[in-house]
């Protein structure tokens, strides 16, 4: 057994049996990803690519609350407020390259999505080859609630769920269960949380498929899947306004709750998210979608509600953001289109 850690120990690396083990190690911050963490993960993946000892890669989170709550958006907020928005560009460029590297990795990548797995947590796990959820899993892309848009390949994943389930997830921003994540194609294996240590030990022995077959169980029913009929009918509409109108007309309490939730989100983020999802559905590769998300993410920092959303959620914590514009009808097509324009500093270029 060998191990290596970055200087601040925000992420731990260990060759453990046949596993290259990556442990996100900021439990007090729910393992939120920093730039240094992303850069360290990319370095480890590159080293293990040709390391014959490593037959598979495992991604897990320290502590008992979850894998990862997302990117360190407070650090990005601080950078913007201090006049250094280029730091957000650097972070997103590195993070999206990491997402792509995980998706294209030549060895199995097992992501343990136990507990909270949001935003960047989805990005570091759901692009792997073997995604594991448990009865504790809460998987989601909550970005519209902070004036942002699903990224880290989230619009790629959500645009490819059955029907319009991904649109529902993206516009409400709410988490789903492990069973729902499997149904939506965001995860592959359902394992009891109490069996995870034994599963990891079996993975360390080297046979990924055998280990997962031994410890995986049939997930419970998917509540989201059972609601698909009305979700498809409503979220298949062409605009956020029409979707809200459809939700409010439905008799289901879940539809009414979704309408109330969506109405609290950034109107700009909602409209940009819907367009991004529809566009991602037509793009052929994850790389193309990540390139699109990079443009949109950068636009969110200077055109959108990102700064105000983070202020209300994480800085002042008043939970009372002043969205601008405040009404959906005031977010016109020209404003939405501007979020997809080529950045002045150039595209990410993953798709060539």
Q: pLDDT tens for residues 126-182?
A: 999 999 999 999 999 999 999 999 999 999 999 999 999 999 999 999 999 999 999
**pLDDT tens-digit readout, 218-250:** 999 999 999 999 999 999 999 999 999 999 999
Across 293-317, average pLDDT: 96
Q: Using CB atoms within 10 Å of the CB of residue 87, give its burial: 0 to 12 exposed, 13 to 18 middle, 19+ buried.
A: middle
- For residues 132 and 155, what is the distance between their CA atoms, to the nearest angstrom? 20
Q: Locate the DSSP E strands across the chain.
A: 2-5, 11-16, 19-24, 56-61, 66-68, 109-112, 116-118, 130-133, 138-140, 189-191, 216-217
- For residues 328 and 259, what is the distance between their CA atoms, to the nearest angstrom? 13
Q: Is 204 a catalytic residue?
A: no
pLDDT band at 206 (very low <50, low <70, confident <90, very high): confident
Q: What pLDDT, on a 0 to 100 scale, did the predictor assign at position 352?
A: 81
> Strand 130-133 to strand 138-140: parallel, antiparallel, or no bridges (unpaired)?
unpaired
- For residues 196 and 140, what is the distance between their CA atoms, to the nearest angstrom? 21
Catalytic residue among 66, 120, 121, 153: 120
**pLDDT tens-digit readout, 245-273:** 999 999 999 999 999 999 999 999 999 99
**pLDDT tens-digit readout, 80-136:** 999 998 999 999 999 999 999 999 999 999 999 999 999 999 999 999 999 999 999
Q: What pLDDT, on a 0 to 100 scale, did the predictor assign at position 346?
A: 87
Across 293-308, average pLDDT: 96
Q: Is the pLDDT of residue 1 over 80?
A: no
Residues 6 or more apart whose Cβ sits within 8 Å of residue 344: none
What is the percent of the chain with per-residue pLDDT over 70, rounded to a whole number? 98
What residue spans define the domains of the chain?
3-339
Q: pTM value?
A: 0.95
Comparing 4-18, 116-130, 312-326, the range with the smallest average pLDDT is 4-18
Q: Is 282 a catalytic residue?
A: no
Catalytic residue among 95, 151, 164, 287: 151
* CATH number belonging to domain 3-339: 3.90.226.10
Neighbours of 123 (CB within 10 A): 31
Catalytic residue among 60, 143, 164, 291: 143
**pLDDT tens-digit readout, 18-54:** 999 999 999 999 999 999 999 999 999 999 999 999 9
At 263, give phi and psi (nearest 5°): -65, -15
Neighbours of 52 (CB within 10 A): 7
Tokens of 220: 């419970």
- For residues 17 and 202, what is the distance between their CA atoms, to the nearest angstrom? 10
Across 200-214, average pLDDT: 96
Q: What pLDDT, on a 0 to 100 scale, did the predictor assign at position 8?
A: 58
Catalytic residue among 20, 71, 128, 166: 71
Q: Is 143 a catalytic residue?
A: yes
């Amino acid at each position: 057994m060998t191990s290596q850690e970055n200087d601040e120990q925000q992420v731990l690396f260990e060759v453990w049996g046949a596993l290259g083990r990556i442990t996100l190690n900021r439990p007090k911050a729910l393992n939120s990803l920093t730039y240094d963490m992303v850069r360290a993960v990319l370095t480890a993946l590159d080293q293990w690519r040709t390391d014959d000892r490593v037959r598979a890669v495992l991604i897990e989170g320290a502590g008992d609350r979850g894998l990862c709550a997302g990117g360190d958006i407070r650090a990005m907020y601080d950078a913007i407020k201090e006049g250094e928005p280029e730091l957000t560009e650097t972070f997103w460029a590195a993070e999206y390259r990491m997402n792509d590297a995980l998706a294209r990795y030549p060895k199995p990548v097992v992501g343990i999505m136990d507990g909270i797995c949001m935003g960047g947590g989805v990005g570091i796990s759901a692009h792997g080859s073997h995604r594991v959820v448990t009865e504790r899993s809460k998987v989601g892309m909550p970005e519209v609630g902070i004036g942002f848009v699903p990224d880290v390949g989230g619009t790629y994943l959500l645009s490819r769920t059955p029907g319009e389930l991904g649109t529902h997830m993206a516009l409400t921003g709410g988490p789903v269960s492990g069973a729902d994540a499997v149904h939506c194609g965001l995860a592959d294996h359902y394992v009891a949380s109490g069996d995870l240590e034994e599963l990891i030990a079996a993975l360390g022995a080297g046979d990924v498929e055998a280990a997962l077959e031994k410890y995986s169980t049939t997930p419970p029913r998917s509540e989201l899947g059972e609601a698909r009929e009305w979700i498809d009918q409503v979220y298949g509409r062409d605009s956020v306004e029409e979707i809200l109108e459809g939700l409010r007309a439905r008799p289901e309490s879940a539809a009414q709750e979704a309408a109330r939730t969506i109405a609290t989100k950034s109107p700009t983020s909602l409209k940009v998210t819907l367009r991004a999802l529809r566009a991602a559905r037509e793009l052929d590769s994850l790389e193309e979608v990540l390139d699109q998300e990079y443009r949109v993410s950068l636009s969110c920092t200077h055109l959108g509600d990102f700064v105000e959303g983070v202020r209300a959620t994480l800085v002042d914590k008043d939970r009372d953001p002043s969205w601008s514009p405040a009404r959906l009808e005031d977010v016109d097509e020209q404003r939405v289109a501007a979020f997809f324009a080529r950045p002045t500093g150039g595209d990410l270029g993953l798709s060539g």
